[in-house]
Amino acid sequence: MAHLPSNKGQLFSLDFLIAMGLAVLAIGMLLNYYETTTNAEKEQRLQNELTAVALNASALMMQINGCDLGGGFQDTGYTVYGCSSQTNAENLTRSELMVPKGFKCKISWTLNGVSGEQDDPATECADDDSQIQANVASVERVLLSSQSPLSKADYQKGIEQGIGAYYDYILTVKVWK
């Protein structure tokens, strides 16, 4: 009886196991990088969206609530930028400020130079921001506000001497989701 040679070979060599381990490690690192990059892009997209909504709302707040200029401003061709009226803010809605549904917002006026003096306008953007657990976009705009019609003489006095019949405020618009 002849003896047949048996081909007993190794199924997995040590080199093969090391190569497979390195391949799995490389694939894992690639997937981790992809997930990290995707999450960072998602967070940045959300932050950009929040910032755009806050900038737009603050610009509309300034535009809609223009000062009652009186005193011949319109007649002389003057255009005043950066002047807003708190009293006109009371009836603004989220849709007028173009704040989409699902977003929360808070608008406040702070008297510049007087710490702690703050007034929240009675708009629909008066959500509680004390315990925000999300991304927030905050826009601050320095503006003038007048409780009475602002005359041309008062406006020019304010420009030339830094005084006038108006108040220096900071309008803060916070938006979060």
Q: In whole angstroms, what is the distance from residue 122 CA to residue 93 CA?
A: 10
* Close Cβ partners of 142 (under 8 Å, ≥ 6 residues apart): 82, 112, 168, 169, 170, 171
**pLDDT surpassing 60 at residue 64:** yes
Q: Please name the helix (run of DSSP H) or strand (run of DSSP E) that holds residue 174, with its range, or none.
A: strand 167-176
- Confidence (pTM): 0.68
* Close Cβ partners of 90 (under 8 Å, ≥ 6 residues apart): 121, 122, 123
The percentage of the chain sitting over the pLDDT mark of 70, rounded to a whole number, equals 61
Q: How confident is the model at residue 150 (pLDDT cuts 50, 70, 90)?
A: low
Q: What is the rounded average pLDDT of the residues 103-112?
A: 82
